[in-house]
Structure 1
């Protein structure tokens, strides 16, 4: 159910102000101001969707006030209400203050509510299309039509059936789980290594859910410091922090009635986790610097390349937040765990790259697909995309040959091929040590630098593994024990 929008009504006549409040109060959250100065206090402390301003007021006129609002708070949809029909004022209002509609007195209650509902719809639709102000000359119906067309195309693009996989692939189980989750309004946590397609799966879940006709927004939680991340997600008022030059509508409010995808949720700080937990528990946000909280109805799909259960046990991730996010966990397998899918994925990527680069490439030499199936793909599908783009750029003919493979694929048919590719005079001891070094490096890569887990997999103690890291100059300080973060320290 949609939360009520906030309408700011400004009129110096108290009886008129009260009449407007009574008519609008059932549908909207109404703020009342007697003059421009009082209205600005509301705009500084609250998120406002629509402004309904009387034209004839002491001091600033309605048009003059809304011109100032347009410069300082450009997001609200601005409307003038007046008992006068001065055409010059109407023209000035539309052109100089970006007025959405000019309402004449006496107004009809039902018609007024309908007009304000249209203004609220315009506000939300423009936010979904990232339009900054009401200056775009599109009617609400036209904006809605454009968005509907785009969402229809998105549903086709992110259909579960378009997720490439072979009949024997473990992705069958993943897609079945995702289909089931999409039918219910439940939080989903997608885990898996970077580049495995977690966002693709999240989009498919959204576009097969009851919220498919609403907005889907994405935020990378590992890319911003806490203050900026809060502003991005929850919104902020002008002046709330250094660099906050204007009001910002947060992504949770933009995604109201839709879905928000929180990528790299495991990278967030404990302080931010507390604030996110409150949002999920109370279904409300409080923009930075705002006086009041706002209700939101948002489905959350989160993703991480970390083991959040281990993070919880280590005290780095809140247990209560984990259970809020992981109501329905889904794990995305790494590309090396679904080698049967590699030829199909490679062909799909090649078709996309050919079209983007305008190259006439017939396909892969069979030997290339064999090489690809034997490579471990630490960067998963994202790494494969980069590799195929490079091959297409370097291709001299109309078919991709083994010679166009990058050295890491040619030398790493398996994790130890490069270790064996040594000078013929190398002793057996040197070759064995090279193999051991390669095995350790590959295992640490597989466990994202976590020494405890890698040591267990290798049959070593943590002390023993650290000794070998030092012996082979593998920079042991760049890896972490289980009680630390379990990721590489840059």
Structure 2
């Protein structure tokens, strides 16, 4: 039985924009297009649409005005705006008036757009399931309370046993996790520092679920993703009439998380003006919603994260010193992935299992050569880049095993650590011109051989070499297929991988 594709309605008065979006989304969605508001309304009346992707600048109405009408007539439809304009008033109006799911700015990336729409599809399904279950839940409140409590206990147990952070026995993360367990029970602010993609939010969750607030809300806000006006309304809430579009009172994140933990990601991106408002929350434990003349007491633990050196930001006058010391009662530093290479096989396997569940495509795992190549690469994007690479390999794999030839070229070209002394002297492209050219040649040879699964005839043909010429170069640089028999990689049959 063929699964029905989710229906997406694209509304844009530019024909080329419609054609581009339809071409990109056609494989994953049933795409309907409309160049006018009238056409879009007619489609909504005749088709079962799950998602609307509407341009903000339309001739008849703005995208927000149209989606506000959609919200009144078809409230279950997931509403999204796509626009080349990033005016904060438009964004606030879109969130408040039209209840949009995402405000997508141009230029957009096709892969990110597809992922956003798939997430929106999942949200649509969850909304339908929620409606179906709501009546049942009202009839069995006791059972629901017990089920929720049980799930919280299971979640806490996960973070108590291994902090939810995948690592090996010799991992540099072991000291970090021990530090987290030590400080988590004490009700103090924590500042988590590390490069983008290292897993700072996961560390924040480990702090929360090992604290005395573990059964209370854990709420996340990315401070770098919103302008000051919208960030203030998100964190502090607002009163009806506080600004154009504020048609009802809204409770902010600090109040929703009362008794629990608020995780402020990318805190280093907050403007100096907004830093003063955050300082009051930390000092006084109180907030004032936009448009209100009264302050409200809140009891929250603040965990902040940044990829910047906040001490340098303080010295440069870009970050308030008093706020820094309020946030950094305890510092937790997450090492980059290049400093925990021994964790890469375990991390890649955990990410693969998660991706298999998400995409519904099954493979047996990685072969040893693929994992060895992944350990050689520096991963500047850290765990987030590794997740992307694992997804890429799974999607493009045509067999039952993820092999090294499925890796991206940038990973295959990584300078190896364990190869012959000649390669050690050439790694990093240092030295004379001759040395650098030879280093580049060695990397190209290795990448080509891996892509052709060490078939020397095919590699030689691609590189324009004779088989004897290729053999001489391999001997010169000490390049041979990796010997994986001595590798201890959990879950990997290295003998099968070498065969």
| TM value normalised by structure 2 | 0.55
Counterpart-to-counterpart distance in 1, 2:283 and 2:141:
33
Equivalent residue, structure 2, for 1:278: 280
Counterpart-to-counterpart distance in 2, 1:142 and 1:378:
47
The structural deviation recorded for 1:172 is 1.1
* Within-5 A mapping of 1:19-418: 137=138, 144-159=145-160, 161=162, 162-413=164-415
The structural deviation recorded for 1:376 is 0.6
Listed as ranges, the gaps of 5+ residues in structure 1 are 1-70, 72-129, 422-426, 437-490
Counterpart-to-counterpart distance in 2, 1:226 and 1:386:
31
Return closer, same or farther for 1:410/1:230 CA change in 2, 3 Å cut-off.
Answer: same
Return closer, same or farther for 1:229/1:431 CA change in 2, 3 Å cut-off.
Answer: farther
Post-superposition CA distance 1:185-229 (Å, at most 9, x none): 111000001111111111111111111111110000001111111
Post-superposition CA distance 1:65-109 (Å, at most 9, x none): xxxxxx9xxxxxxxxxxxxxxxxxxxxxxxxxxxxxxxxxxxxxx
The structural deviation recorded for 1:169 is 1.3
Equivalent residue, structure 1, for 2:77: none
The structural deviation recorded for 1:355 is 2.6
Counterpart-to-counterpart distance in 1, 2:408 and 2:402:
12
Moved segments of 4+, more than 6 Å: 433-436
The answer to whether the Cα contact below 8 Å between 1:376 and 1:414 also exists between their aligned partners in 2 is no
The structural deviation recorded for 1:284 is 0.5
SS of alignment partner, residue 153 of structure 1: helix
Return closer, same or farther for 1:140/1:227 CA change in 2, 3 Å cut-off.
Answer: farther
The answer to whether the Cα contact below 8 Å between 1:192 and 1:333 also exists between their aligned partners in 2 is yes
Equivalent residue, structure 2, for 1:60: none
The structural deviation recorded for 1:429 is 4.1
The structural deviation recorded for 1:160 is 5.1
The structural deviation recorded for 1:354 is 2.1
The answer to whether the Cα contact below 8 Å between 1:238 and 1:247 also exists between their aligned partners in 2 is yes
How many equivalent residue pairs?
Answer: 298
SS of alignment partner, residue 201 of structure 2: helix
The structural deviation recorded for 1:414 is 5.9
SS of alignment partner, residue 158 of structure 1: helix
The answer to whether the Cα contact below 8 Å between 1:377 and 1:383 also exists between their aligned partners in 2 is yes
Counterpart-to-counterpart distance in 2, 1:282 and 1:140:
37
Counterpart-to-counterpart distance in 1, 2:292 and 2:280:
16
Counterpart-to-counterpart distance in 2, 1:209 and 1:143:
24
Equivalent residue, structure 2, for 1:38: none
The answer to whether the Cα contact below 8 Å between 1:237 and 1:288 also exists between their aligned partners in 2 is yes
Counterpart-to-counterpart distance in 2, 1:139 and 1:236:
34
Counterpart-to-counterpart distance in 2, 1:285 and 1:201:
26
Return closer, same or farther for 1:289/1:344 CA change in 2, 3 Å cut-off.
Answer: same
SS of alignment partner, residue 153 of structure 2: helix
Return closer, same or farther for 1:287/1:160 CA change in 2, 3 Å cut-off.
Answer: farther
Return closer, same or farther for 1:433/1:276 CA change in 2, 3 Å cut-off.
Answer: farther
The structural deviation recorded for 1:143 is 6.0
| TM value normalised by structure 1 | 0.56
Listed as ranges, the gaps of 5+ residues in structure 2 are 1-71, 73-129, 418-422, 441-499
Return closer, same or farther for 1:239/1:413 CA change in 2, 3 Å cut-off.
Answer: farther
Return closer, same or farther for 1:253/1:434 CA change in 2, 3 Å cut-off.
Answer: farther
Equivalent residue, structure 2, for 1:18: none
Counterpart-to-counterpart distance in 1, 2:247 and 2:158:
37
The structural deviation recorded for 1:400 is 0.8
Post-superposition CA distance 1:226-255 (Å, at most 9, x none): 111111111111221233232110111111
Post-superposition CA distance 1:415-464 (Å, at most 9, x none): 9x9xx99xxxxx9649759999xxxxxxxxxxxxxxxxxxxxxxxxxxxx
Return closer, same or farther for 1:391/1:318 CA change in 2, 3 Å cut-off.
Answer: same
Counterpart-to-counterpart distance in 1, 2:221 and 2:142:
28
Counterpart-to-counterpart distance in 2, 1:179 and 1:310:
28
Post-superposition CA distance 1:41-79 (Å, at most 9, x none): xxxxxxxxxxxxxxxxxxxxxxxxxxxxxx9xxxxxxxx
Counterpart-to-counterpart distance in 2, 1:368 and 1:432:
26
The answer to whether the Cα contact below 8 Å between 1:262 and 1:303 also exists between their aligned partners in 2 is yes
